[in-house]
Chain A
Amino acid sequence: MALSHLASSSSRSNLLKPLSALSLRRPISSAAADDSRTITIETSVPFTAHQCDAPSRSVDTNPKELLSFFRDMATMRRMEIAADSLYKAKLIRGFCHLYDGQEAVAVGMEAAITKKDSIITAYRDHCTFLGRGGTLLEIFSELMGRQAGCSRGKGGSMHFYKKEAGFFGGHGIVGAQVPLGCGLAFAQKYSKDGTVSFALYGDGAANQGQLFEALNISALWDLPAILVCENNHYGMGTAEWRAAKSPSYYKRGDYVPGLKVDGMDVLAVKQACKFAKEHALKNGPIILEMDTYRYHGHSMSDPGSTYRTRDEITGVRQERDPVERVRKLVLSHDLATEKELKDMEKEIRKQVDEAIAQAKESPMPDPSELFTNVYAKGYGVEAFGADRKEVRAVLP
């Protein structure tokens, strides 16, 4: 069923049509003067709308933005692959859900919103956290359970948070983050600050009842909530056609408008999120379905090939890979040379390796950290270790 999308996305001639008259090859460093000239690019696939008017296929962008897309997505890709090796080296334990293949969703969303808008997602949160302003050091430290991690080593892969950047996590229970996201939207409406909340979930979580409950309340109270279904077509090992009677997730809101977006095209994602933000501030909730794909299995303990063929994975990688798409865009618009992009990737690889080395040096949390942050305010209740002798602390 995922293969059907490959056929429809073959009309890529639009992408390669150079729209800018400037054909002079120029190294990135001296392109400063032209960094903000507008380039208009058409998305590969038109949007499909439900109960609303689809936004235009032509997306405005500029060289600086396109290059930043490439850099951010390449960083995310490298980070996830590095996490894969760290997991196999047993430095990351437990659950590790990797996002490679889906980078366009995180990067495109960031391009359309500010840090005052809120994002909340499920457990596949490493790249979303990076997009929100997290550093590689915080990510790798948290994955390895060290003190320098964003949650001080106490959260793990599924619990990344960055309060000052409006990133609310990082949640392990499937679907439970959607009511939280609608609560964030409620708080935004309560404080009247003109921001929106994006609640991300997957095609597996789309069948949770609490989602529809929260959607009903959001529509009733006109909350600026945007529900984004990152449809990578597999809920762990179950394909979407086996889990959902109606896999048109953007239509499942019924009375709530929806938009289906090619989630491998970062510009389409940016356009859709911009549209959704304007819509939500005026008319209440909207659902976005991002048609995307993950190359890894559900998590590191899932090989990812028992329920889908390797041909399918390589096929998507060849036809629809989001990083390659931006690379081709950059090259065709002469924003950088092949060599410059390769150098950028080498630099990113170095940054990732440095961050990992630094994270490895960060110490494990102190045993007293076991009892910190259980409650927000202390009241002198003693807590003991299992034998009541070794670890003894006053609950702070």
Chain B
Amino acid sequence: MANVLQGVGAATALSATKSIDSRKFHLPSRRSLSERKGSFLVVRSDGRRIQGSRARRAEQLITSAVATKADSSAASTASKPGHELLLFEALREGLEEEMDRDPHVCVMGEDVGHYGGSYKVTRGLADKYGDLRVLDTPIAENSFTGMGIGAAMTGLRPIVEGMNMGFLLLAFNQISNNCGMLHYTSGGQFKIPIVIRGPGGVGRQLGAEHSQRLESYFQSIPGIQMVACSTPYNAKGLMKAAIRSENPVILFEHVLLYNLKERIPDEEYICSLEEAEMVRPGEHVTILTYSRMRYHVMQAAKTLVNKGYDPEVIDIRSLKPFDLYTIGNSVKKTHRVLIVEECMRTGGIGASLTAAITENFHDYLDAPVVCLSSQDVPTPYAGTLEEWTVVQPAQIVTAVEKLCQ
């Protein structure tokens, strides 16, 4: 079930696994784009357990990425600022920096301590900070989420990890009633600075119950903020911002994005929790997306550029509340909107975003907002069927062509 794909230009039948240089589409001001040789993307899909040989291979990948990267592309990468790492390492770095900075930060979840985290996000932290700050919980989501919220009421800053976001459905009552609403119902007395994070989204044939997109269920809860990370840069930045925020934040990660590699700055930085990210400025159409679909969109963008279109791609990042400022400016420029998301069609983030854009920017639209979402079906196991539940780059290209007629 796990496929490991590596190297620039490796083309496979599964469209989502084409290697993409995630840096290509950042604004030039952020870092130099001159050297592109020697950086490559490893998109790996894993189940929960990494089998022996691949685990060792992961080790080699990690160490070589940081220490001996210079070998394969001597002068180019060594002279660039920052350091390269994978997305889960970026999350861990953000987590570690915040735990160093503030002794009130603690992590609780299943297998986060001694096991190191099912996606290695918390590896090594239990050894460094001890069992009272990195807590292995029994399999009891409802109660340990409740305990995290109770601890947050007194001023601790817990990070609750759901091993898979779908498991947090068991804690829905705690997240909705206690986490979201306590600040309001207590008249402002209690702040709940909790971070709830975990991987979600459609993976590689993980089955229906392990491929859920919970952002659509949580989006109506008043009082919480939701963000979705998509690159190592914004993963670390959003993790740090979420921990420092006084509000409860739900950080959505994606199972398939944990092994994205990117070069991030050495110095400390935080991403704003409420801002969207401009991935590729353009003129013809605004494409709004988040999380894994960003990569499908960028792939489609390459085809679109070849066909002569100039799409503006925005990674909305903040799922609640929407960054209507950035989105609005883009709509006023291009007058056409396409939303590409992984949520279900009914009641998903795209549905809310469509309503928000139509309400606020109706006068600026030349065409109705088009929303491409996943099908309203439980995610099937068979690979071919699973492919068709999510939006594929070819569909994005077709949609843009129709929109721009």
In the complex, residue of chain A having the shortest beta-carbon distance to the beta carbon of B359: A388
A375 touches B225 (CB 8 A): yes
Chain A residues in 8 Å Cβ range of B146: 176, 178-180, 182-183, 210, 214
Chain B residues in 8 Å Cβ range of A379: 273-274, 321
Mask: chain A, 363-381; 1 = CB below 8 Å from B; 0 = not: 0000000001111110101
Q: Specify which of A159, A170, A182 is in contact with B143 (CB 8 Å cutoff).
A: A182
Chain A residues in 8 Å Cβ range of B189: 151, 161-163
Mask: chain A, 177-211; 1 = CB below 8 Å from B; 0 = not: 01111111011111100000000000000000110
Q: Is A317's CB within 8 Å of the partner chain B?
A: no
Q: How far is the CB of A254 from chain B (nearest CB, A)?
A: 15
Say which one of A46-54, A66-74, A215-223 lies at the interface with B: A215-223
Within 8 A of A (CB), among B130-167: 132, 135, 137-138, 140, 142-156
Chain B residues in 8 Å Cβ range of A388: 359
Of A168, A184, A187, A216, the most chain B CB neighbours within 10 A belong to A187
Mask: chain B, 315-358; 1 = CB below 8 Å from A; 0 = not: 00000010010000000000000000000000000000000000
Q: Is A154's CB within 8 Å of the partner chain B?
A: yes
Within 8 A of B (CB), among A134-160: 149-156, 159
Query: For the complex, what is the distance from the CA of A153 to the CA of B188, rounded to whole Å?
Result: 11
Given contacts A163-B190, A172-B177, A190-B151, contact A179 B185 (CB under 8 A): no
B247 touches A151 (CB 8 A): no
Of B132, B186, B274, the most chain A CB neighbours within 10 A belong to B186
B142 touches A210 (CB 8 A): yes
Chain A residues in 8 Å Cβ range of B154: 118, 184, 187-188, 191
Of A120, A217, A372, the most chain B CB neighbours within 10 A belong to A217
Chain B residues in 8 Å Cβ range of A213: 138, 140, 142-144
Of B150, B225, B324, the most chain A CB neighbours within 10 A belong to B150
Given contacts A176-B146, A374-B222, contact A217 B188 (CB under 8 A): no
A182 touches B183 (CB 8 A): no
Chain B residues in 8 Å Cβ range of A161: 185-187, 189-190
Given contacts A176-B178, A216-B140, contact A376 B247 (CB under 8 A): yes
B144 touches A217 (CB 8 A): yes
A187 touches B142 (CB 8 A): no
Q: How far is the CB of A18 from chain B (nearest CB, A)?
A: 45
Q: Is A171's CB within 8 Å of the partner chain B?
A: yes
Instruction: Kindly state the interface size class of chain A when it binds its partner.
Output: 35 or more
Q: Is B106's CB within 8 Å of the partner chain A?
A: yes
B147 touches A180 (CB 8 A): yes
Q: How far is the CB of B6 from chain A (nearest CB, A)?
A: 40
Q: How far is the CB of B189 from chain A (nearest CB, A)?
A: 4
B185 touches A155 (CB 8 A): yes
Instruction: Kindly state the interface size class of chain B when it binds its partner.
Output: 35 or more
Q: Is A169's CB within 8 Å of the partner chain B?
A: yes
Q: How far is the CB of B125 from chain A (nearest CB, A)?
A: 16
Given contacts A377-B245, A379-B274, contact A169 B186 (CB under 8 A): yes
Q: Is B173's CB within 8 Å of the partner chain A?
A: yes
Q: Is A89's CB within 8 Å of the partner chain B?
A: no
Chain B residues in 8 Å Cβ range of A184: 150-151, 153-154
Chain A residues in 8 Å Cβ range of B274: 379, 381
B147 touches A217 (CB 8 A): yes
Query: For the complex, what is the distance from the CA of A162 to the CA of B188, rounded to whole Å?
Result: 11
A179 touches B142 (CB 8 A): yes
Q: How far is the CB of B172 from chain A (nearest CB, A)?
A: 11
Q: How far is the CB of A97 from chain B (nearest CB, A)?
A: 16
Chain B residues in 8 Å Cβ range of A3: none
A179 touches B247 (CB 8 A): no
In the complex, residue of chain B having the shortest beta-carbon distance to the beta carbon of A375: B247
B246 touches A376 (CB 8 A): yes
Given contacts A187-B155, A190-B156, contact A373 B222 (CB under 8 A): no
Chain A residues in 8 Å Cβ range of B263: none
A151 touches B149 (CB 8 A): no
In the complex, residue of chain B having the shortest beta-carbon distance to the beta carbon of A189: B132
A179 touches B144 (CB 8 A): yes
Given contacts A161-B189, A217-B138, contact A187 B321 (CB under 8 A): no
Given contacts A182-B147, A216-B140, A375-B225, contact A159 B186 (CB under 8 A): yes
B143 touches A190 (CB 8 A): no
Q: Specify which of B140, B155, B177, B186 is in contact with A217 (CB 8 Å cutoff).
A: B140
Q: Is B296's CB within 8 Å of the partner chain A?
A: no
Q: Specify which of B152, B174, B184, B222 is in contact with A179 (CB 8 Å cutoff).
A: B174
A173 touches B177 (CB 8 A): yes
Query: For the complex, what is the distance from the CA of A191 to the CA of B186, rounded to whole Å?
Result: 24
A sample of 23 inter-chain contacts (CB < 8 A) reads A151-B189, A154-B184, A163-B186, A170-B186, A176-B177, A176-B178, A179-B147, A180-B150, A182-B143, A183-B147, A183-B148, A184-B154, A186-B147, A186-B150, A187-B151, A190-B156, A216-B138, A217-B138, A217-B140, A217-B144, A376-B183, A379-B274, A381-B324
Q: B-side interface residues toward A, CB under 8 Å?
A: 106, 132, 135, 137-138, 140, 142-156, 173-174, 177-178, 182-191, 193, 222-223, 225, 245-247, 273-274, 321, 324, 359
Q: A-side interface residues toward B, CB under 8 Å?
A: 118, 120, 149-156, 159, 161-163, 168-173, 176, 178-184, 186-191, 209-210, 213-214, 216-217, 220-221, 372-377, 379, 381, 388, 395
With A152-B187, A180-B178, A216-B140 given, name 8 new contacts (CB 8 A). Answer: A163-B186, A169-B186, A180-B150, A182-B146, A182-B150, A220-B138, A376-B191, A395-B321
